[in-house]
Structure 1
Amino acid sequence: MTSQAPQEATTADSGNEFEIRDKDNIAAGVDAEVVVSNQRVFTGKLGLIFAAACIIYTAFHVGVMNLYPLETWVYRLIHVAGGLALGFIFFSARAFPAESGGRQSATPLEWILLLPAAVLIFTALGQIIFAIVTGDLVRTGAPKEKMLMTFGYPIIAGTALALLASWTSPTRNRGRVALPDVLLAIAAITVGVYIIAHAEFLRIRAQVFPHINDMYASIAGILLILELTRRLAGLALVIIVAVFIAYGFVGPWLPGVLEHRGYAPQRFFAFLYTDNGVLGPTTAISSTYIILFITFAAFLQASRVGEYFVNFAFAAAGGTRGGPAKVAVFSSALMGTINGTSAGNVVSTGSLTIPLMKRVGYKPQTSASIEAAASSGGQILPPIMGAGAFIMAEITGIAYADIVIAAIIPAALYFLSVYFMVDKEALKKGMRGLPREELPEFAKLARQAFLFIPIFTLIGALFLGYSVIRAGTLAMAAAAVVSWFTPFRMGPKQILYAFEIAARMSLQLVAVCAAAGVIVGVIALTGIGTRFSSMLLGLAGQSQLVALFFAMCVSIILGMGMPTTAAYAVAASVIAPGLIQLGIEPLTAHFFIFYYAVMSAITPPVALAAYAGAAIAQSDPMKTSVESFKVGLAAFVVPFMFFYSAPLLMQGEWHQNLHAFVTAAFGIYLLASGIQGWFFGVVGSALRIVLIVAALAMIAGGLMSDIIGLSVAALVFLIQRKFVTPKNVARGLD
Structure 2
Amino acid sequence: MSSPPPSSANDDHLIADGVDEEPIEGNRRLFEGPTLIVIAGLATLYAMFHMAALNGVSVSSMTGINIPLLPQFPMETWNFRIAHVAGALVLGFLMYSAASFPGDDDTAPGAAIQRKIALALALPALLALGTAIWFALLINDGAMWNGMDATIKFRETWLFGVPLVLATGGAIVLSWVHKAPRAKLATPDIVLSICAIAVATYLITIYGTLMRNSTGTPFAPIGISIAAVAGTALIMEMTRRVAGLALVIIAGVFLGYVFFGQYLPGFLNSPAISWQRFFSQVYTDAGILGPTTAVSSTYIILFIIFAAFLQASKVGDYFVNFAFAAAGRTRGGPAKVAIFASGLMGMINGTSAGNVVATGSLTIPLMKKVGYHKKTAGAVEAAASTGGQIMPPIMGAGAFIMAEITGIPYTDIAIAAIIPAVLYFVSVFFMVDFEAAKLGMRGMSADEIPKLAKMVRQVYLFLPIIILIFALFMGYSVIRAGTYATVAAAVVSWLTPYRMGIRSTVKAFEIAGIMSIQIIAVCACAGIIVGVISLTGVGARFSNLLLGLAGVSQFLALFFAMCISILLGMGMPTTAAYAVAASVVAPGLVELGIPQLTAHFFVFYFAVLSAITPPVALASYAAAGISGANPMETSVASFKIGIAAFIVPFMFFYNGALLMDGTWFEVIRAGATATFGVFLLSSGVQGWFLGGRSAWFLRVGLIAAALFMIEGGLITDLVGLGITALAAFTQKALRPDPDQAIQVKGAD
Normalising by structure 1, what TM-score? 0.94
CA distance in 1, matches of 2:16, 2:323: 10
Q: Percent identity?
A: 57
C-alpha distance after superposition, 1:286-341 (max 9, x if no partner): 00011011111111111000100000000011111011111111111221233132
Long gaps (5+) in structure 1: 1-19, 727-734
Aligned to 2:84: 79
SS at match of 2:94: helix
Please say which of residues 236-245 and 541-550 is displaced more in the overlay.
Answer: 541-550
Which of residues 93, 98, 118 in structure 2 aligns to 1:93? 98
**Matched residue type, 1:556:** I
User: Is the counterpart of residue 43 in structure 1 residue 28 in structure 2?
Assistant: no
Q: Residue 640 of structure 1 contacts residue 699 of structure 1 at CA under 8 Å; is this kept in 2?
A: no
Aligned to 1:130: 134
C-alpha displacement of 1:31 = 1.8
Which of residues 310, 333, 339 in structure 2 aligns to 1:300? 310
CA distance in 1, matches of 2:110, 2:10: 46
**Matched residue type, 1:177:** L
- Flag the 1:153–1:55 CA change in 2: closer, same or farther, 3 A: same
Please say which of residues 638-647 and 701-710 is displaced more in the overlay.
Answer: 638-647
Aligned to 2:526: 516
Matches within 5 A, 1:520-539: 520-539=530-549
C-alpha displacement of 1:583 = 1.4
Aligned to 2:202: 194
Which of residues 156, 159, 166 in structure 2 aligns to 1:157? 166
- Matched pairs, number: 705
Q: Residue 663 of structure 1 contacts residue 706 of structure 1 at CA under 8 Å; is this kept in 2?
A: yes
Aligned to 1:732: none
- Flag the 1:443–1:105 CA change in 2: closer, same or farther, 3 A: farther
C-alpha displacement of 1:513 = 0.7
Aligned to 1:183: 191
CA distance in 2, matches of 1:137, 1:615: 58
CA distance in 2, matches of 1:519, 1:494: 39
Q: Residue 300 of structure 1 contacts residue 338 of structure 1 at CA under 8 Å; is this kept in 2?
A: no
C-alpha displacement of 1:227 = 0.2
Long gaps (5+) in structure 2: 1-8, 57-72, 738-748
User: Is the counterpart of residue 601 in structure 1 residue 601 in structure 2?
Assistant: no
CA distance in 2, matches of 1:118, 1:393: 42
Which of residues 683, 697, 701 in structure 1 aligns to 2:708? 697
Q: Residue 461 of structure 1 contacts residue 471 of structure 1 at CA under 8 Å; is this kept in 2?
A: yes
C-alpha displacement of 1:104 = 7.2
CA distance in 1, matches of 2:123, 2:52: 35
Please say which of residues 398-407 and 649-658 is displaced more in the overlay.
Answer: 649-658
Which of residues 202, 216, 224 in structure 2 aligns to 1:207? 216
Matches within 5 A, 1:295-694: 295-541=305-551, 543-680=553-690, 681-694=692-705
**Matched residue type, 1:173:** P
User: Is the counterpart of residue 117 in structure 1 residue 121 in structure 2?
Assistant: yes
CA distance in 1, matches of 2:494, 2:116: 55
SS at match of 2:647: helix
C-alpha displacement of 1:387 = 2.5
Q: Residue 350 of structure 2 contacts residue 574 of structure 2 at CA under 8 Å; is this kept in 1?
A: no
- Flag the 1:119–1:105 CA change in 2: closer, same or farther, 3 A: farther
C-alpha displacement of 1:55 = 1.1
Which of residues 719, 727, 730 in structure 1 aligns to 2:730? 719
CA distance in 2, matches of 1:724, 1:353: 36
**Matched residue type, 1:422:** V
SS at match of 1:343: helix
**Matched residue type, 2:148:** G
Which of residues 264, 267, 280 in structure 1 aligns to 2:274? 264
User: Is the counterpart of residue 60 in structure 1 residue 49 in structure 2?
Assistant: yes
**Matched residue type, 1:183:** V
- Flag the 1:252–1:715 CA change in 2: closer, same or farther, 3 A: same
Aligned to 1:9: none
Aligned to 1:27: 16
Q: Residue 357 of structure 2 contacts residue 622 of structure 2 at CA under 8 Å; is this kept in 1?
A: yes
C-alpha distance after superposition, 1:157-179 (max 9, x if no partner): 11111011101112x43211111
CA distance in 2, matches of 1:529, 1:228: 27
Q: Residue 695 of structure 2 contacts residue 736 of structure 2 at CA under 8 Å; is this kept in 1?
A: no
CA distance in 1, matches of 2:697, 2:104: 58
C-alpha distance after superposition, 1:47-73 (max 9, x if no partner): 111111111111111111111211011
CA distance in 2, matches of 1:100, 1:156: 30
C-alpha distance after superposition, 1:229-258 (max 9, x if no partner): 001111111111111111111121111111
C-alpha displacement of 1:661 = 1.1
C-alpha displacement of 1:146 = 2.6
C-alpha displacement of 1:96 = 1.6
Aligned to 1:233: 243
CA distance in 1, matches of 2:435, 2:177: 49
CA distance in 2, matches of 1:259, 1:448: 61
**Matched residue type, 1:165:** L
Q: Residue 121 of structure 1 contacts residue 183 of structure 1 at CA under 8 Å; is this kept in 2?
A: yes
CA distance in 2, matches of 1:148, 1:699: 62
Aligned to 1:15: none
C-alpha distance after superposition, 1:463-504 (max 9, x if no partner): 110111111111111111111111111111111111111111
CA distance in 1, matches of 2:533, 2:576: 14
CA distance in 1, matches of 2:443, 2:409: 42
C-alpha distance after superposition, 1:637-687 (max 9, x if no partner): 111111122121112222222211111011001111111111121111111
C-alpha displacement of 1:22 = 6.4
**Matched residue type, 1:437:** D
- Flag the 1:542–1:299 CA change in 2: closer, same or farther, 3 A: farther
Aligned to 2:741: none
**Matched residue type, 1:89:** L
**Matched residue type, 2:90:** A
CA distance in 1, matches of 2:13, 2:492: 20
C-alpha displacement of 1:139 = 3.3
Please say which of residues 540-549 and 20-29 is displaced more in the overlay.
Answer: 20-29
CA distance in 2, matches of 1:318, 1:173: 44
**Matched residue type, 1:116:** A
**Matched residue type, 1:583:** G
Q: Residue 455 of structure 1 contacts residue 475 of structure 1 at CA under 8 Å; is this kept in 2?
A: yes
Q: Residue 13 of structure 2 contacts residue 447 of structure 2 at CA under 8 Å; is this kept in 1?
A: no
SS at match of 1:634: helix
C-alpha displacement of 1:356 = 0.5
CA distance in 1, matches of 2:445, 2:368: 15
**Matched residue type, 1:149:** W
Aligned to 2:59: none
- Flag the 1:646–1:188 CA change in 2: closer, same or farther, 3 A: same
SS at match of 1:484: helix
C-alpha displacement of 1:713 = 1.1
CA distance in 1, matches of 2:524, 2:351: 18
C-alpha RMSD of matched pairs (Å) = 1.7
CA distance in 1, matches of 2:328, 2:340: 10
Q: Residue 216 of structure 2 contacts residue 281 of structure 2 at CA under 8 Å; is this kept in 1?
A: yes
- Flag the 1:321–1:54 CA change in 2: closer, same or farther, 3 A: same
